[in-house]
Amino acid sequence: MSSPGNSKANGKVESAVKTAKNLLRKALSARTDPHIAILDYRNTPTQGMESSPAQRLMNRRTRTLLPTMKTLLQPRAPQSERDVQQLNRRQFQQCKYYNQHARDLPPLKEGDVVRMKPFHLGSKEWKKGTIASKLDERSYMVETPDGDTYRRNRYHLRFIQEKRHAIEEKLAEAADKRKALEDCYRRINEAASGNNLSSQRCSDCHYRNHTVPSCQMEKCESVFFCGELARHPDKKMKLQEQKNKIIALETSVTKLEQDLRSREAAFDRVHGSVKKLVEDMLLEEYPEEYVQNNSRNWLKIQQDIAFVKKSLQGNGPPRREIVKSLLETK
């Protein structure tokens, strides 16, 4: 079973639909009977094989508009081993080609915030939801904020680590600001090393070996010329302000990171254990409902766990009586 809308998992069907559509289109443009076109298709050996679709389905050829020998219309032994081998080889080849370009997307875990690719034609909205449970290798149950659940293939889900993303943006911002500030200090130091700070300076132009009354230079415009922060108190204050802002930003990022980490840990603890508890209860209480022919019906189990969890709304560990009554009134 494939997730709705995941036509990739239906490769065979999709390709048959494509072939059929092409046939009908060609028949239409050539003004021939589409039924004849389909009949011919069914009697033509499939590429890479020695049998036609009709032969594989009915073990014999069907009549066409061309005269055919009677012996050719006789039923032949069911699918020879050779045909099966060829079919397998073809499927293996197709699988190989597909896998050459296929790449596994990173798995999602419960609680991950995702967006679902819009299915309906014309719809552009990527609905937001959280992963309620993992059904199999690539299939997930997604719960939207309004409480609806959807089954989706990983391929149709985009993982938005909104919190992570915000943290990374802030980290980058802090790093940029810190770099700009360090650049400032570097330029000031360079200017300072060009000047001899130990000697007396003019308090107007900030150059050496004279005083204001005999100054013939222009007033120092910037700390980047003289390198003496003490003589540019406005700039000194501004730089200190920037420094404080960066420190505040870095502190908030650290807090956000800690918060996210503890939330993730708490989520794993609570949901991991609640889910496991409910799962054990369900299997113990209703084995005939969830286990058929010795194999567990994971889809039903996951759906019912999601239902129980939603009904409990995170109110502590589930008690057996409550879970039972919830399921029985469902």
DSSP per-residue letters across 283-300: HHH-HHHHEETTEE-HHH
Cβ at position 196, least distance to Zn ion in Å: 14
- Report CA 17 to chain centroid distance, whole Å: 29
- Closest CB to Zn ion among residues 21, 219: 219
Cβ at position 222, least distance to Zn ion in Å: 7
Count of residues touching Zn ion (by CB under 5 A): 9
Pull the structure tokens for residue 100. 């050459």
- Closest CB to Zn ion among residues 135, 220: 220
Q: According to the binding rule CB under 5 A, does residue 220 interact with Zn ion?
A: yes
Which helix or strand (DSSP H or E) is residue 218 part of?
none
206 contacts: CB under 8 Å, gap ≥ 6: 195, 220, 225, 226, 228, 231
Cβ at position 188, least distance to Zn ion in Å: 10
Binding mask 231-250 for Zn ion (x = CB under 5 A): x-------------------
Cβ at position 180, least distance to Zn ion in Å: 21
Question: CA-CA distance, 135 to 152, in Å (whole number)?
Answer: 10
Cβ at position 182, least distance to Zn ion in Å: 20
**CA-closest candidate to residue 160, choices 187, 142, 147:** 142
Q: According to the binding rule CB under 5 A, does residue 188 interact with Zn ion?
A: no
Among 215, 256, 270, 326, contact with Zn ion (rule: CB under 5 A): 215
DSSP three-state, residue 274: helix
Whether 46 and 53 have beta carbons less than 8 Å apart is answered as: yes
Cβ at position 115, least distance to Zn ion in Å: 55
- Closest CB to Zn ion among residues 94, 240: 240
283: alpha, beta or left, given left = phi > 0 and alpha = psi -120 to 50?
Answer: alpha
Binding mask 192-211 for Zn ion (x = CB under 5 A): ----------x-xxx-----
Q: According to the binding rule CB under 5 A, does residue 277 interact with Zn ion?
A: no
Binding-site ranges for Zn ion (CB under 5 A)? 202, 204-206, 215, 217, 220, 226, 231
